[in-house]
A and B are shown apart, each in its own frame.
Chain A
Amino acid sequence: MPGKTKTAGDVVDQLMDRFVQSPLHRRRKWGLLRAFGTNREDMPIAATGANFQSQLRSAVHLVISMPEYQLT
């Protein structure tokens, strides 16, 4: 992920920009934040974190199962 992604919210925004390219309802964004083990968009996150790779894999997997992605 680019260096500007410092929080879980940044990562979800990046995923949405790359895969969906349309606004995401707050509730669904919150669902994706949960993949990173948090409810908060401003939760600091590090690409070198112990669980980051598995969290990111799951988040991508979930994004591409969303109707918003399938219609993009």
Chain B
Amino acid sequence: MTQGMTRREFIKKGLTMVAVGVTAPSFITRTALAMNNPWDVAQVTSRPGVPDDRILVVVQMGGGNDGLNTVIPFTNDAYYRARPNLAVPQKEVIRVTDELGFHPNLAQVKDLYDKGAMAVIQGVGYPNPSRSHFKSMEIWQTADPEGRVVRYGWIGRYFDSKCPVCEQPTVGVNVGQAMPLAMNAETGMGVSLENPETFQWMPALNGLGEKEEQELFKLLNAPAPGVDEPGTIDFLRHTAMNAHVSSERVRAALNGYRSGVEYANTRFASSMRLIAQMIAGKLPTKVYYAHMTGFDTHANQRGTHENLLLQLAGGVSTFYKDLEAQGNADRVVVLAFSEFGRRVAENGSNGTDHGTAAPMFVFGKAIKGGLYGAQPSLTDLQDGDLKHGIDFRSVYATVLDKWMGADPAKILGHNFERVAFI
């Protein structure tokens, strides 16, 4: 007779511990709950009127996107004077207003804009901007320009706020190699994966076989009743069990849906397809995180930046179509940001150097599309850089408050003004 604890027994015993209030390491109860019905637990701070099944997808445009060549002030002579080689010709710009337009490679998201499913928030930045990629990305990811709470990210602090499904190991899913600081939480929730095929227990080569080893892995990492293990071992076992639960759940979600929409053959589009699959598969996830890189266009910017904008527009618009086909478009908001914009003037290498303020983009069926904030002046500059008009934490506060149903003041440390895009 086996003495091991099967998954079913583990769930049952874990839930029993919750029910009778037995003192147990918290991860046991969390993992047991997570293995039960994920959307039925931890309704701690649900706010009336804010559905619990809303999802945020964050797109990080790493490297510093050139906002001026993305949302283009095509009637402004100062733009053309500052960029004799890089400025987008007026006739090529996709007009949004009489003064502003999108880069021609953003045609696919212009369709979303016209439907009211895209908001452009102009001139976003923060006081005393850093031109270091590392520092500025850290500031955006922690929402903390003063560096007070640098250990945890703004999304991680949301996870720590005991939001609905925040106890789930898959509450945050990063599609990439390493978990971004933005999702770093005190409770350690969230998973990172790049390839779902490798996001699972890998058995030994020429060993007993995958199924048998998986069972033994679970047995070895299940909590031993009555054993008070040191905190570090407890933490690692917790992490291993979370990874295992997440792996099973992610692969089950992915296997349950095949998109009928064709994505482009780019890394970013693949990430968005994976996220769409996980959403369709009802993974209990509040925040997904996707990455684009290569926006650091110091030299020969034209082709590189154009290609990146095409990838962004293609990935987001196809993702939106996929969500519409699923019937999930009104549950998802996409927030795209970069750690800084570029300087107004082009440099001597047909590129642009690190700057400050830039536009952010928000996509979703449930948002109020349009332009928000003012286009920064191209003549009233600060050391050759654009002055920001909207603090990026106001955008975060809007998303946290209006979309996620959380209290932004608790997460961001200050009650930032909201922007009206939701």
Contact = CB atoms under 8 A, between A and B. Distances in A.
Interface of A: 25, 27-28, 30-32, 34-35, 39, 53-55, 57-58, 60-62, 65-68, 70-71
A35 to B, nearest CB: 6
Given A34-B4, A61-B213, A62-B213, A25 B233 contact: no
B198 to A, nearest CB: 15
B224 A67 contact: no
B236 A70 contact: yes
Sort A-B residue pairs by CB-CB distance and give the 9 closest, nearest first: A67-B236, A61-B204, A58-B207, A58-B208, A31-B219, A57-B207, A57-B204, A67-B233, A31-B220
Contacts of B233: 67-68, 71
A54 B212 CA distance: 12
Interface string B213-238: 10011011100100100001100110
Contact of A58 (B3, B216, B227): B216
24 contacts: A25-B224, A25-B227, A27-B3, A31-B220, A32-B216, A34-B219, A53-B206, A54-B206, A54-B207, A57-B205, A58-B204, A58-B207, A58-B208, A58-B212, A58-B216, A61-B204, A61-B213, A62-B216, A65-B220, A67-B221, A67-B232, A67-B236, A70-B236, A71-B232
Majority SS of interface residues in chain A? helix
Nearest to B204: A61
Interface string B175-218: 00000000000000000000000000001111110001100110
B236 A62 contact: no
Nearest to B1: A39
B82 interface: no
Contacts of A71: 232-233, 236
A66 B237 CA distance: 8
B224 A27 contact: yes
